[in-house]
Amino acid sequence: MEASHVQKVIDVLGGEWIAKDNRISAAVLKSGTMAFMGLQNALTAVEEETKLARTTEPQMASLSPPPRKVDWRDNNGNYVTGIKYQGACGSCVAFAVCAMLEARVRILQNDPNLEIDLSEAHLFSCGCTNCCDKGWHNEKALKHARKGIGLEKDFPYKPGNQNCPKQALSPYLKVRSYSVIKGEETRKRIIAAKGPVVASMEIYDDFRNYGGGIYSHMTGSLKGHHAVCIIGYNDDDKYWIVKNSWDTDWGENGFFKIKYNECGIDEKFAFYDADLVLVPANLPPANNQVA
């Protein structure tokens, strides 16, 4: 959609964001509506909670009440790694999962300057063969991540289907366990105490033109579903702070804010928490067993 048209609708309806033309909105016109997303078989949060045996409900008692605001880019340091670009491939799930895990490593190590760049290609290509056109699912990606994820330098990402390396990559980390986070209060407690989480949302035409502010759907039809990484929230203005995988020239330098309960992000889709274990660098991959 043209940003000028979207902005007129925003102004009429009193939206709290601005529209801009960018390479994502332009590329969609050329590549088709499924480009730059990739969440497959998007299940509702209720279905996911039924499907997964373990949820975070028992953790509530051990977590402190959440503060009114959290932003892991500015929480005694920036624990969120840089924005990446998935390109015209349905690999958003791999980027959302890796974004969460990269931040969690920095938080666990109490080092916001730790250099870590996980290989989305390793997770995506080895966990979901030839999935660029059909996408993947968050739960399946987290399950596959139990086998380990290597580093970007060892298997660089390219938009498109890539073959899983014949010689196994040495994993940097493994997901030990993962769970669905039930309820807004628990989600905020997890984010505040443990760090960013994986979430999902509906994508409408106008979202591609997002240029800043607090997004809410204004115009255009549903185009698909998208996995993202929530890095914080703001209860005063009632929005989530989110890391996207559409590069830094989209949105707010690659990030965006979205109103609570918008585009199904709270009510229709599950939030995911994960615990990880770092693989000792001095052990061969075959001996790195998940604890």
* Nearest CA-CA partner of 118 in 160, 165, 141, 150: 150
DSSP state of 118: B
Does residue 290 lie within any of the structural domains?
Answer: no
Q: Taking 70 as the threshold, does the pLDDT of residue 169 lie above it?
A: yes
Q: Which of 98, 225, 244, 263 is catalytic?
A: 244
Residue 144 a catalytic site member: no
For the domain that residue 268 is a member of, what is the CATH number?
3.90.70.10
Which residues are within 8 A (CB) of 245 and not within 5 positions of it... i.e. 6 or more apart?
83, 84, 85, 86, 91, 92, 95, 96, 99, 228
What tens digit of pLDDT does each residue of 233-252 get? 999 999 999 999 999 999 99
Q: Band of the pLDDT at 30, cuts 50, 70, 90? A: low
Which residue in the list 126, 132, 226, 263 is annotated as catalytic?
226
Any domain includes 291: no
Q: State the pLDDT at residue 40.
A: 80
Residue 260 lies in a domain: yes
- Is residue 263 annotated as a catalytic residue, yes or no? no
Ranges 48-52, 206-210, 281-285: which has the least confidence: 281-285
Angle (nearest 5°) at CA 258 between 184 and 241: 75
Distance CA 92, CA 243 (A): 11
Mind listing the pLDDT tens digit for each residue in 83-142? 999 999 999 999 999 999 999 999 999 999 999 999 999 999 999 999 999 899 999 999
Q: What is the pLDDT of residue 48?
A: 63
- Asked if the structure places residue 287 within a domain, the reply is no
Does 191 have pLDDT greater than 60? yes
Taken as a whole, the chain contains a residue count of: 291
Whether 174 is covered by a domain: the verdict is yes
The span from the CA of 90 to the CA of 68, in Å, is: 34
3-class state of residue 12 by DSSP: helix
In this predicted structure, what is the pLDDT of residue 41? 64
The tally of domains found in the chain comes to 1
Q: Give the integer Cα–Cα distance in Å for 204 and 217.
A: 7
pLDDT grade, residue 280 (50/70/90)?
confident
* Whether 78 is catalytic: no
Catalytic residue among 92, 98, 229, 263: 92
Give the DSSP H or E segment for 230.
strand 222-234
Structural domain that includes position 208: 3-279
Domain-embedded: residue 85: yes
